[in-house]
Amino acid sequence: MPPVTSAPSSRLRPYRMPAFILSVVLLICVGVAMVLSIRSFTRSTDLVEHSYQVINTAEAIRSSARSTESDARGYRLSGRDQLLAEYLATFPATRKATSQLVVITRDDPAQQTRALEVETLVEKRLAELQRLIDIQRDQGIAEAQREGLDSPGFGQMQQINLLIDTVLTQEHHLLRERRQTMATLAAVTIAGVVAGILLPLVLLGLLLGGLTRENRRSLKLEREARSTMRELAISLEQRSRLSEQRRVLGAYAGILQSCENLNEALNVTAEVIAQMLPTAGGRCYVLRSSLNQVEALSRFGTETVPSDSVWAPSACWGLRRGQPHRSGHGPGNVYCSHLHIEDLGENGWTLCVPLMAQGVSLGLLHVNGATGGSSEDVQVVEAIAEQLSLAMINLQLRESLRVQSLRDPLTGLYNRRYLEENTQRELQRCQRRGLPLSVIMLDIDHFKRFNDEHGHAAGDALLTAIAQTLQTHTRDEDIVCRYGGEEFTVVMPEASSEDAQRRAEEIRSAIATTTVVHLRKTLGPNTASLGVATYPFDGSTPAELIGSADTALYRAKAEGRNRFVVHQLARA
């Protein structure tokens, strides 16, 4: 019996190598064609994206220019500082957009020429707007409005809009052409890919014997691909988290600029940290003006490692070194003495970030947690601390300017506005602590006659001298104000009626011996009448207390002047 042979296998064996070589050649050709097609397609895609970028930039110029024009006009008409701030914010954005349009149209000389014209017109218009703003600052709103009537603003904006419309029209035309080119390239690429795949598949069907090995290799590649996909997913998640953090930080920076006081800024900071680091907790500390104590003004989250509410700056390594100080579980860690580290877990961590701006220490941001504490978390806290420091120094400057506006220019004492704002605060503080608060109303006796006899300059000198006497005979924590005309008010937190009566008598006696020198003449002494009222007996609101003290003052005048009367006695 003849041996059994595999005829088909024998017939196909001589063609395996040529078929393999031909398949490889076809695949190489297809690969080269695909690479070339993909490069062309990528180039077309880049051109389309470039057209969209030009269109978006041109629209941004139009929108930003209109916003700048609107904000400047609104400020010129109303004089509102908020509109000026919005104008100053959109002013550089308009310039940046025009410069970007010039840069991205370098590939098209005609478009770049138009972009340069747009930039020139925008610069002219911005210069005109800035000129009107400067006029309003220097000469007043009326002069700015008059100059605005003669400003060529409408014509300039019309020219800018026409040029931008021309740029958009041309770019839309290029966009249609590029889209058509993309569609053609896509069709050619698909046809080439389909044809190039079908032919090698027919030939590779003859090489089934080698697929087993290729399958094993494919399984290995699949496992590697899965591992890569997992790593990619982790990377995308981190990128998404970082993007969200940047968005939240950007919004946080904007909100901080709108905060009216420090407590509001600290509360916003606490909410942002709780949102970005939900597993962390901590406190925002502020350095007192005496620079000898740090006090917690807000808390956030759940503190894993408790921290004292008030402590000396030397208790924190972050404040000592002027840079963030991180510590965790294990040897080699140096802990701040204001922390209670006995509650620190195995994965616990703490971070102290000094709040500093312009070389001045303002406070501390302390964050801790049972888990986390990665470098990303530290960077987030440092970014928040940087924004908070700038906001705090701005708020301090704003408060300093506000206090300056609350001084009486003649006597240097606080004015009535300051009295109304701060008496309420001091009264609420005393109410919370169950402490008294006294008010003294003072009026100079026969001041009108003094003015008529010696002149208003002498009267001003007398008011200034009495203001100095009041400052000499009151405490630092007392609020001494010029209430109006020849009337003065002294608010004495935590002072009982007896304390206020003693102080009123001291002030009355001191004024009775006060003289002024005017035009080489010694004038005075003069006398004063005083009325005393005390919380809670004579009122529970600032208006009631001041009214009670005023009633007692008029009783003192009615009884002969140069004396003080307590409101409780006046009522009796």
Which run of H or E residues covers position 116?
helix 109-139
d(CA 565, CA 381): 58
**Cross-strand bridge partners of residue 355:** 363
The CA distance from 483 to 444, in Å, is 12
Distance between CA atoms of residues 172 and 6, nearest Å: 67
**In whole angstroms, how far apart are CA 333 and each of 138, 281, 312, 329?**
58, 20, 21, 7
For residue 541, being part of any structural domain is answered with yes
Residues in the chain: 572
In this structure, the answer to whether residues 360 and 472 fall within a common structural domain is: no
CA nearest neighbour of 99 among 86, 118, 81, 85: 118
Q: Which residue in the list 69, 128, 303, 486 is annotated as catalytic?
A: 486
Average pLDDT score over residue span 45-50: 80
Q: What is the pTM of this model?
A: 0.41
Is 244 inside a domain boundary?
no
The predicted-structure confidence for 477-496, as pLDDT tens digits, reads as follows: 999 999 989 999 999 999 99
Percentage of the chain modeled with pLDDT above 70: 90
Active site residue 486: yes
Whether residues 421 and 388 share a domain: the answer is: no
Contact 94, 64 (CB under 8 A): yes
* Structural domain ending residue among the three candidates 379, 403, 427: 403
pLDDT at 502: 95
**Consecutive H or E run containing 417:** helix 416-433
Cα–Cα distance measured from residue 240 to residue 313, given in angstroms and rounded to the nearest whole number: 38
In DSSP terms, 238 is beta-bridged to: none
Measured CA to CA, the distance from residue 328 to residue 51 in angstroms comes to 53
Q: Are residues 441 and 392 in the same domain?
A: no
SS3 462: helix
Residue 197 placed within a domain:
yes
Beta strand 325-328 pairing with 349-357? antiparallel
Q: Is residue 53 part of a domain?
A: yes
Span 7-19, mean pLDDT?
57
CB 441 within 8 A of CB 487: yes
Q: What is the mean pLDDT of residues 132-151?
A: 73
Using the predicted structure, report yes or no on whether residue 5 has a pLDDT greater than 60: no
Q: Could you say which of 403, 435, 454 is where a domain stops? A: 403
379 lies in the same domain as 442 = no
Q: Is residue 137 part of a domain?
A: yes
How far is residue 101's CA from residue 58's CA, in Å, rounded to a whole number?
7
Q: Answer with the residue of higher pLDDT: 131 or 446.
A: 446
Question: Which of helix, strand or coil describes residue 371?
Answer: coil
Q: Which amino acid is at 117?
A: E
The chain-wide mean pLDDT, for the chain, equals 83
Tell whether the model's pLDDT for residue 244 goes beyond 80. no
Tell me: do 47 and 140 sit in the same domain: yes
Residue 481: give its domain's CATH number.
3.30.70.270
Q: With 50 as the cut, is the pLDDT of residue 258 above it? A: yes
Q: For the sheet containing 437-444, what is the strand order?
A: 479-484, 487-493, 437-444, 528-535, 564-566
Range of the domain at 320: 262-403
Q: Which of 221, 250, 280 finishes a domain?
A: 221
Name which residue leads in pLDDT, 566 or 395.
Answer: 566
Q: Is the pLDDT of residue 570 over 50?
A: no
Q: What is the pLDDT of residues 95-119, one digit of tens each?
A: 888 888 888 888 888 888 888 888 8
Of 444, 449, 525, nearest to 485 by C-alpha is 444
Residues 74 and 212 in one domain: yes
Above 70 in pLDDT, residue 207?
A: no
> How many CA atoms lie less than 13 Å away from 294 in the CB half-sphere?
24
Q: What is the pLDDT of residue 8?
A: 43
Taking the C-alpha atoms of residue 26 and residue 373, their distance in angstroms, rounded to an integer, is 56
Phi then psi for residue 3, to 5 deg, are -65, 150
For position 182, what pLDDT does the model report?
A: 77
pLDDT at residue 2 is higher than 50: no
Q: Does pLDDT of 402 surpass 80?
A: no
Quick one: pLDDT at residue 532? 96
Q: Tell me the per-residue pLDDT of 318-352, one tens digit each, with 9 for 90 and over.
A: 888 888 988 876 666 788 888 887 767 677 888 89
Burial 41-63 (b: 16+ CB within 10 A, else e): beebeebbebbeebbebbebbbe
- Residue given tokens 């970028």 in the structure block: 53
pLDDT of residue 555: 95
Distances (CA, A) of 304 to 220, 373, 520: 46, 12, 72
Domain identity same for 446 and 374: no
Reported confidence tier of residue 194, pLDDT bands at 50, 70, 90: confident
Structural domains of the chain, count: 3
Cite the DSSP H helix spans in 205-345: 211-258, 262-276, 317-321
Structure tokens at 262: 């420090």
Q: The dihedral of CA 218, 224, 229, 232: what is its sign? A: negative
Give the H/E segment covering residue 196.
helix 153-204
Please state, in angstroms and rounded to a whole number, the distance separating the CA atoms of residues 386 and 390: 6
Best-predicted range by mean pLDDT among 53-67, 234-248, 443-457? 443-457
Mark whether 391 and 428 lie in a shared domain: no
* Cβ 335 vs Cβ 355: under 8 Å: no
Residue 541 — very low, low, confident or very high, per pLDDT cuts 50/70/90? very high
Instruction: Of 86, 279, 52, 284, give the one whose Cα is nearest residue 176.
Output: 52
- 392 and 433 share one domain: no
Residues 343 and 384 in one domain: yes
> Is beta strand 521-523 parallel, antiparallel or unpaired with respect to 528-535?
unpaired
CATH code, 383: 3.30.450.40
Give the span between the Cα atoms of 538 and 492, in whole angstroms. Answer: 14
pLDDT of amino acid 149: 65
Residue 423 in this model has a pLDDT that exceeds 90 = yes
Q: How confident is the model at residue 35 (pLDDT cuts 50, 70, 90)?
A: confident
Are 376 and 423 in a shared domain? no
